[in-house]
Structure 1
Amino acid sequence: MNIKTFYLTGTLLLLSIGTYAQKKKETINDSNTPLHLLQPEYKVPYKALSTTEVKTDIDRILRYLEKTTHTRVVSEKTGKVITDYSNLPADAQLERGAFRLASYEWGVTYSAMMAAAEATGDAAYMKYVTDRFKFLAEVAPHFRNLLEKNGTTDPQMKQILTPHALDDAGAVCAAMIKAQLQDKSLNLYPLIDNYLDFILNKEYRLADGTFARIRPQLNTLWLDDMFMGVPPVAWYSRMADKEQSKYLAEAVRQIFQFAERMWVPEKKLFRHGWVEGMGDHPAFFWGRANGWALLTMTEVLDVMPTNHPQREKLMNLFREHVRGLAALQSGEGFWHQLLDRNDSYLETSATAIYVYCISHAINQGWLDAMAYGPVAQLGWHAVSTQINAEGQVEGTCVGTGMAFDPAFYYYRPVNVYAAHGYGPVIWAGAEMINLLNKQHPKMNDSAIQYYRTEQKTQAPIFSVSKPD
């Protein structure tokens, strides 16, 4: 056989084999393949979830925050650490880290850390809180002396000593009350009383007593202020020696007065802003503000006795809000910046708040796990993708004012230093751990299902009848 004949024979043989293989290979179709078991191309994880996975995620955030939020006083001019607080120089300030120790965002973070300590049994979370609260309580009197002497002091400390808005006071106050109730050795009463005095006696209000602002228009309600003002008042009812019912009654009154103006029943959502002088009241359903409203109701229901005469009314509003939110969750598990506008971006902090509140409500028996457990788990999977390797939280909208046009909300920046994301993500993770410990989620027919009892048998791979 010459070389030409050899190559020609080989080529014909290969062509023959290829043709045979093509004839043998079957096309995937409905009659030979269970198509419902094909693997979908999910953009975020869609799978069973373990408590170990969740704790690993939130531990990464904790380690990052331990390194980037300091408990030292320094000289602004020299950067030198000051250890003698009794003789602070005029330029004394809290050492600057990535985040402020007493912002409202960090009030949320402290509450979340305490919840994580309880859910995980890891004392490092509570230590983060008590180290910073002890530090602030220790240095506050000395900075007050400096303020009285010079008429000014470090802006971060001035915010604590002389709050001028609910943002300055409410969330940190609520967290301090919780910490004080847990650890009697703390001496946070002077700071708590100072915050409460502002909230109850100095904050601007409408004629009927509803917390209000004079910006961007006179007599404006911000949905955010439900959370900035109401939870500390409710939690103080657990600490007050006298008139406990008075504080809880004020908290509940505020919620319903906000809802009277800002709840949109046909949407089952809250509008972000309401201006008393407007003839019409435009409704922009900003994600994080709705989160603050849901979180406020969650906090108050936690404090409210089960026999409280308005508990059922508040619970009904909470459940209606959850129904409205659940219907708007995206296929990626996130919620949108403007909840009912799918072309606005997917946002982390609002999603995390909803995951926490829904998970907590299931764990407290307020919501059905079968109906809402998958909502929370999908939301957590989405949030977990935004915790980067360093422990930073991505995809969080920066601080946001109020507007009556969509472009304002659509184009708010996102940033890893937007502090609003850290507390909600830790809080969501902590409550997901509780949820996974109490409930019985399982993959069945490729979907997450929540069961009331543990399922010991494996779901069949093939179904006799095809799913609808």
Structure 2
Amino acid sequence: MNKSILAIATALILFTCSEAQKTTLEQKDVFNETQIKESMIKALEWQEAHPIFALHPSDWTNGAYYTGVARAHNTTKNMMYMAALKNQAVKNNWNTFKRLHHADDVAISYSYLYVAENEKRRNFADLEPTKQFLDAHLYEDNNWKDGTNKSKEDKTILWWWCDALFMAPPVINLYAKQTEQPKYLDEMHKYYMETYNRLYDKEEKLFARDMRFVWKGNDNDRKEPNGKKVFWSRGNGWVIGGLALLLEDMPEDYEHRGFYVNLFKEMAAKILEIQPEDGLWRTSLLSPESYDHGEVSGSGFHTFALAWGINNGLLDKKYTPAVKKAWKALAASQHEDGRVGWVQNIGAFPEPASVDSWQNFGTGAFLLAGSEILKLE
């Protein structure tokens, strides 16, 4: 009888503990500062243990990832982030990737510039490869700039796809700031305007990924099954995330700053308007039913940008509930081991993701978002 009572008591204790643990998990505060920092470090540790890149360790995928690492360090000052930044820079010999007229291949230099700005040891960082790239990219003639590239339709400007507005402009802007050479910023603005004039839809307040998705008023225009234009979530995430990075380092008195502020606000209002109820944007922004599930890379960039706007006084508090809803959903997309799931694979238009799909740039977007969520009041 005593054994039976003991068994029942033990079972009750175990049940109570289990229920308590379940309640604790359900009540886990994803907005707790410690919790956010822990989730960010877990994402870093997992990604560092599972390196991946599309072409080379210095390519755009790592460029986007280590931009997130840099912003995470900027907010938290945790030296684990700086160690990761320095390790990859040294391994890469501070080199960009090789295509001097392709914006993707200088994205990695954002992390190099960040290290250079924050490293006390003199001459630790080697920014000569970045300078060589930017000088060639901005000032050398090539067949995209002069409009004579006929090998691929519509690729006749330097930044012919909207993703480029994340890859190169923040690097050029930061380089201009650090070297005190505004000529680089002026060149950046010139090429930014080419992309804006070609790909920005002033009616929808969103960017087409490239000319294939710009409506020309004919039967061949690409459209979603619901009849709406195709606007890719990550593509627009690249742009608005890049705008936040640009405005962070752009001089307050720069003559064209107003253009970037206005563009940022226009896009932010649209992104807020079309946010799904569960917090995560779908891969096709105007046709969420096409792939009716959240996607983390685009959503991470959107969350970062909106939170940055709030924290820097460009967006009012009406955006705060949307940002918090988005972060809650982003946090739920992280696996227990730190991996960030629901990331659409490398692509150029809306496609599905899954709970297990991941990419390093998705981790970068997660870290970017977390770096600004930590600053929300």
1:422 matched to 2:335? The reply is no
Shift of the alpha carbon at 1:290?
0.3
Change beyond 3 A, Cα 1:431–1:172:
same
Counterpart for residue 273 of structure 1? 210
Q: Does structure 1 retain, via aligned residues, the 8 Å contact 2:300–2:330?
A: yes
Alignment partner, residue 176 of structure 1:
112
**Partner deviation per Cα, 1:242-264 (whole Å, 9 max, x = no partner):** xx221111222222222212221
Displacement of 1:97 in angstroms is 8.7
2:240 is aligned, of 279, 282, 294, to 294
Pairwise CA distance, 1:284 = 1.8
- Unmatched runs of 5 consecutive residues or more in structure 2: 1-25, 223-228
Query: Hey, what's the Cα distance between the residues in 1 that align with 2:41 and 2:271?
Result: 28
Measured against aligned partners, the alpha-carbon deviations of 1:373-399 in whole angstroms (never above 9, x if no partner) come to: 111111111111111112111111111
State the SS of the aligned residue for 1:335. coil
Q: Which moved more, 1:53-62 or 1:249-258?
A: 249-258
For residues 277 and 290 of structure 1, the distance between their equivalents in structure 2, rounded to whole angstroms, comes to 14
The answer for the alignment partner of 1:57 in structure 2 is: 39
Amino acid at match of 1:120: T
- The worse-fitting range, judged by mean Cα deviation, of 228-237 and 335-344 is 228-237
Change (3 A) 1:123 1:167: same
Residue identity in the other structure for 1:273? D
The alpha carbon displacement at 1:47 in A equals 7.2
Of the candidates 178, 192, 201, which is equivalent to residue 264 of structure 1?
201
| 1:104-160 alpha-carbon deviations (Å, 9 max, x no partner) | 12112222212212322311111110122123228x7xxxxxxxxxxxxxxxxxxx4
How big is each residue's C-alpha offset from its partner over 1:289-325, in whole Å with a ceiling of 9 and x where there is no partner? 1011112221221122112222222211110100011
Distance 1:253 1:390 in 2: 44
SS class of match (2:239): helix
The residue type paired with residue 171 of structure 2 is P
Higher strand share: 1
Cα deviation, 1:141-187, whole Å, max 9, x if unaligned, reads xxxxxxxxxxxxxxxxxxx4633562552210222122212225322
Label 1:312 to 1:228 Cα distance change in 2 as closer, same or farther (>3 A): same
Kindly state the Cα deviation for residue 58 of structure 1 after the two structures are TM-superposed.
1.0
Cα distance between partner residues in 2 of 1:199 and 1:213: 19
Which residue number in structure 2 is paired with residue 105 of structure 1?
Answer: 61
What TM-score results when the alignment is normalised by the length of structure 1? 0.65
The one of 360, 371, 386 equivalent to 2:333 is: 386
Instruction: Report if the CA contact (8 A) 2:104-2:168 is conserved.
Output: no
Give the corresponding residue for 2:284: 338
* Counterpart for residue 3 of structure 2: none
Q: Distance in 2 between matches of 1:334 and 1:213?
A: 39
Which of 129, 132, 135 aligns to 2:85? It is 129
Do structure 1's residue 360 and structure 2's residue 360 form an aligned pair? no
Secondary structure of the equivalent of 1:223?
coil
The root-mean-square deviation of aligned C-alpha atoms, in Å, is: 3.1
Question: In structure 2, the residue corresponding to 1:307 is in which secondary structure?
Answer: coil
RCO greater where, 1 or 2, for CA within 8 Å and sep 6 or more? 2
Q: Give, as a single letter, the amino acid of the residue that structure 2 aligns with 1:399.
A: I
Deviation at 1:366, TM superposition (A): 1.1
1:163 aligns with 2:99: yes
Contact 2:97 2:105 in 1 (8 A): no
Give the structure 2 partner of residue 229 of structure 1: 168
Match of 1:245 in 2: 182
Q: Distance in 2 between matches of 1:380 and 1:434?
A: 13
What is the distance in 2 between the residues matched to 1:203 and 1:423? 31
**Alpha-carbon contact 1:388-1:394 (below 8 Å) kept:** yes
Q: Deviations over 1:197-229 (max 9, x none)?
A: 4422366534489xx995465537211122222
Q: Deviations 1:325-378 (Å, cap 9, x if unpaired)?
A: 11111111000101011213321100000111111111111111x211111111
Q: Give the letter for the 1:187 counterpart.
A: A
For residue 333 of structure 2, what is the amino acid of its counterpart?
A: Q
Q: Which amino acid aligns with 1:271?
A: A
Q: 1:177 to 1:316 in 2, by over 3 A?
A: same
Query: Cα 1:310–1:358, aligned 2, differ >3 Å: closer, same or farther?
Result: same
Instruction: Find the counterpart in structure 2 of residue 115 from structure 1.
Output: 71
Pick closer, same or farther for the CA change 1:258–1:433 going to 2, 3 Å: same
- What are the residue-to-residue correspondences of 1:391-410 with 2, within 5 Å? 391-401=338-348, 409-410=350-351
User: 2:37 matched to 1:67?
Assistant: no
Distance 1:213 1:274, change over 3 A: farther
CA contact (8 A) 1:104 1:168 kept: yes
Q: Which residue identity lines up with residue 50 of structure 2 in the other structure?
A: T
Q: Tell me: CA distance 1:45–1:314, structure 2 relative to 1, closer, same or farther (3 Å).
A: farther
Q: Secondary structure at the match of 1:365?
A: coil
Q: What is the distance in 1 between the residues matched to 2:53 and 2:267?
A: 37
Q: Does 2:192 match 1:255?
A: yes
CA distance in 2, matches of 1:116, 1:208: 39
Q: After alignment, is 315-324 or 192-201 more displaced?
A: 192-201
Seen in structure 2, the aligned counterparts of structure 1 residues 205 and 303 have a Cα distance that, compared at 3 Å, is farther
Greater share of helix: 2
Aligned mates of 2:213, 2:30 — CA distance in 1? 48
Q: TM-score, normalised by structure 2?
A: 0.79
The residue type paired with residue 81 of structure 2 is Y
